[in-house]
Amino acid sequence: DTGVSRHMTPHCHWFHMYSLHVIPIHLTDNMVIHSAGVGLVVFKPEIEGEVSDKVKLHDVLHVPELQNNLLSPYHLTCK
């Protein structure tokens, strides 16, 4: 989704640092869900079968109601 304004994940176990942070998130179908927290996610992506260098994503929202991870292209290119 290229309209995502923040990185978001439903996976609470991915966070290395976490703070409670409840904000409304407006979905394209006019539904509103809420974040539970925000924090730092660190992972090593696998690219073509090879584990790559560590990637840190700051200010990721924990949104338990999501079914998939959402990445913000803006935040990927600006930081």
| The pLDDT of residue 77 | 81
Return the pLDDT at 2: 56
**What radius of gyration, in Å, describes the C-alpha atoms of the chain?**
13
* Beta partners for residue 60, in sequence order: 39
- Among residues 50, 61, 51, 57, the alpha carbon closest in space to that of 21 is found at 61
Phi, then psi, of 25 in degrees rounded to 5: -125, 120
Tell me how far apart the alpha carbons of residues 10 and 47 are, in angstroms, rounded to a whole number.
22
Question: Does 57 reside within a domain?
Answer: yes
Report if residue 37 sits inside a domain.
yes
Domains of the chain: total: 1
List the domain range (segments joined by +) for residue 51.
8-78
Tens-place pLDDT, residues 15-72: 999 999 999 999 888 999 999 999 999 988 898 999 999 999 999 999 999 999 999 9
